[in-house]
Amino acid sequence: MTQPLLQAADLRGAARLTTEAVAGLASLVEAMHAGIASVPRLRSAVDATPADERTRGITGLVYKTVRGVTHLVGGSVDVLLGLLGPALAAPDPYLPPRPEREAVLAALNGVLGDYLAATDNPLAITMAFRRAGRPLRLERFALRSALPGATPRLLVLLHGLCMNDLHWQRAGHDHGEALARDLGYTPVHLHYNSGLSVSTNGRILAQLMERLVDAWPVPIERLALLGHSMGGLVARSAIHHGALIQRDAPRWPARVDDLICLGTPHQGAPLERAGHGVDRLLGALPYAAPLARLGKLRSAGITDLRLGNIVSTPAGDDGTYRCAQVRLPDRARCHAVAACLGPAAHSLKSRLLGDGLVPVASALGQHAEPERRLDFAPERQAVMYETGHLDLLSSAEVYGLLRGWLG
């Protein structure tokens, strides 16, 4: 048996999200209506005021009524689903999760996760450590029961954007399970809302890691973090924030022996940068400024990928964000694996596309500005040729590197 495909929280979350989407669309159309009816002028989206985006008279009353009815109906549906909740399917902690549902939730959280969390939507993912898709209680006796074969070698795996912990199983291979079989590691998977900012996830993970290390059933002899894509940024952020939280007596960050990043955009992902440029262009054009909101339908997590940001930074005077420089952790052995679609790293295809999402230079921490480079030792970095971003999860060559580095 497996979990039901649709749960009560899914219906309530979807109904609430639909209500908010319809109301937002009405406001978007009204803003465009107001812009067309006004005198054309070139301006920045930041110059617009709420009054500029509202129509007057009967037209304004129509838009206001649409929003009011939408929220009224949405509120009624939310109350009804709350009453029906006990009769609808509820999750069973003893059953494995449905991969289809988990994949949809992960994708939704990757795109709208910060919004879902801010509105307390039931669809928002709460960070937790899991094994085989089931959450782990961070108490010693609970871990001993859930992980009866726990070893002194702890491996924490962190998934990427719009993904979940079940995605580590790809093409019949799982790096974590293979390392457990060959090197005696005990893999624990992190499940998190990838739409939150990397810094937010890093701070939450720093606290959870302390609890995990304290509650581990046996003394830890080796601790390794393995992150794919955004997971590598979250791991670096957690180590950074964990050291800041316990600056006087750092505990778990000082115990990390290995940090391995697979296809992690340490210096950013150009596809997100291009989207940011479109936002700014739309925001400066008459009539099109309201459409910039649609371009901003990227979560804080995706925005952080633009520059590979792992700590929160205030906006500058021009309203843009700049990436703070955070070096690799001193105590851990840090490894980086990049991938490229071409047969050689210096080919035109590889330079333009990288692994399809992340350029080779970004995955290896390289940058034209010396102060922004990440110092991965030459023997602790590698490039996989004719390999895509997701193929890093199933590559036998990548696993050979992991086995050598962690053995």
Q: Which of 243, 156, 257 is nearest to 206 (CA)?
A: 243
Mean pLDDT, rounded, for 129-147: 95
Q: What is the DSSP letter of 97?
A: P
pLDDT tens digits, one per residue of 165-212: 999 999 999 999 999 999 999 999 999 999 999 999 999 999 999 999
Distances (CA, A) of 38 to 43, 52, 62: 13, 9, 18
Question: What is the reported pLDDT for 176?
Answer: 98
Q: Outline where 119-227 has alpha helix (H).
A: 140-146, 175-183, 198-215
Domain map (residue ranges) of the chain = 8-93, 126-268+324-406
Q: What is the pLDDT of residues 307-331, one digit of tens each?
A: 899 998 765 555 555 677 899 998 9
Look up residue 170 and give its DSSP letter: B
Residue 45 DSSP SS3: helix
Question: How many angstroms separate the CA atoms of 38 and 31, rounded?
Answer: 11
Greater confidence (384 vs 295) lies with: 384
pTM, two decimals, is 0.78
The answer to whether residue 393 scores a pLDDT higher than 90 is yes
Strand partners, 336: 261, 381
Write down the mean pLDDT value for the chain.
78
Distance CA(187)–CA(151), nearest Å, equals 10
In the block, residue with structure tokens 């509650």: 215
- Average pLDDT (20-34) is 47
What residues contact 321, with CB distance under 8 A and at least 6 apart?
303, 307, 309, 313, 314, 315
| CA R_g for the chain | 23
Sequence-distant (6+) residues with CB within 8 A of 253 are 206, 239, 242, 243, 246, 329, 331
Report the alpha-carbon distance of residue 289 to residue 269 in Å, rounded: 25
Name the percent of the chain lying above pLDDT 90: 48
Instruction: State the pLDDT at residue 109.
Output: 84
CATH of domain 126-268+324-406: 3.40.50.1820
Task: Output 91 or 171, whichever has higher pLDDT.
Answer: 171
Distance CA 45, CA 285 (A): 8
Average pLDDT over residues 271-299: 55
Q: How confident is the model at residue 99 (pLDDT cuts 50, 70, 90)?
A: confident
